[in-house]
Structure 1
Amino acid sequence: MTLMERRHLLYNSHSCQLFLYREEIRKLVPHLAMALQIPTWLDTFHVQKVLRKFQNNESTEISGISITSAAAKGDNYASEIYRVAVDLQRLQEDRKIQEKIPLIVKMALQHGILKEMIADVGFFETELSMISVVLPRIKKILAALTTAQIAPYCLYTQYEEPVHIFMEDLVCKGFRMAVRQKGMDLNHSLLAMQSLALFHASSVALRGKYGAARCVKTSLTLEFSLILIIGRLGL
């Protein structure tokens, strides 16, 4: 079996798994509505530790923090997403700087049958790898072609329990999620397809840069991510 045949087989296998799990999840969604419960570990101490490491500055101190749900009921069922607004101060060249940092924290489900179903396919680990490893490489490759921001920057990832990721909150830059029931207009649909084309072409460039042996999995990850993105956009 050739490399392309193996990739096609795995691609179709992922598509089939995604469809089957999506149908099972849809059956469970009506029973998932519940009040927001902020995990105990998502506190000032942990957020401050993440920011100190990201900024490489031990003087960073949080003076205020607000944590709310980042998704309306029914909009997200494969993870838990929180919007974290942080007020902090830090020293920079002997000057005290105050700033506000908007963050998104996305956490894998902690219990229940959905946690087991999603863990079996590896959705969340794929997403963490995509955001923290693949997208920064793509950004470097595309730097000569476009200045557009293709994704939020990643501050922190944790693959051990509780599995989660800290990302930039793009809402503060004017981005917003499309209303899936309404879809998108022509201009936004064309923009989405152009972005998907950049992602797909970048996987080929990554393979050329890092070698076939190291990038087969990366390329497949990109292609599987396209399935998820297209499904999310309703295209």
Structure 2
Amino acid sequence: MQYENEALNAYLTFLRSKGVAQKSLDVRVEFLMRLIAGLASKPYDRIAYAGALNMIMKKTRDQAWHFHMQVAREFYPFWMQDIKAIAQLSEQYGVQNAVVDWTPLPTSLKQLSEMLEHIAFNELESVQLEQYLKTMRQQGFEKGVIVVKLRLAKIVLLRLRDAPQKSGAVYRVAVDMTLPLFRLKNSRQLFLTVVREFFQHWITENTGDTRQLLRA
């Protein structure tokens, strides 16, 4: 446990240097102590870390999901003693880890699926979906796979509809609060794949005539 405790202390020292409040530190410590216990006697690699994290997240309330995932992402380079990654985190911390005072409304996968049956997407959303569809076709995905991935991308758009801004931080909140809705491991993995692929289409500002883009 000495190695893990050293990693935890280094992480807490880092957070204090960034001005993180003690109350927030205490909440992080409570979560990380459970994660560290799950990492006992495990190899120091991403697979072991993800496995231990997955066991904890199965018992995590949906409201706490995003915060716990954020803490786990931050702690990982300290646990791995990845100096380069820690330095990069330090440089970007103020921008990427600013608190986003927003979460999508509570829902269920069933409710989202029902919404997809009758909801209409606006022009910008339609362009984003069309561009994602075009990319998948260029990559040679089978029709059945494309249909499923496009449906998951639509779910992402639904979750982002009332977002206060367009940023990677907001996108991550929406993803973290939606992931628990997928109970099966394979479904979660596919959703995360779509999330990574679709982000570039969502974050890019489309200019020009959107109707022309839709016809392209």
Report 1 or 2 for greater relative contact order, CA contacts < 8 Å, sequence distance ≥ 6.
Answer: 2
Pairwise same-fold verdict (TM > 0.5): no
* TM superposition score normalised by structure 2: 0.26
**Bigger strand fraction:** 1
TM, length-normalised to structure 1: 0.24
Higher helix proportion, which one?
A: 2
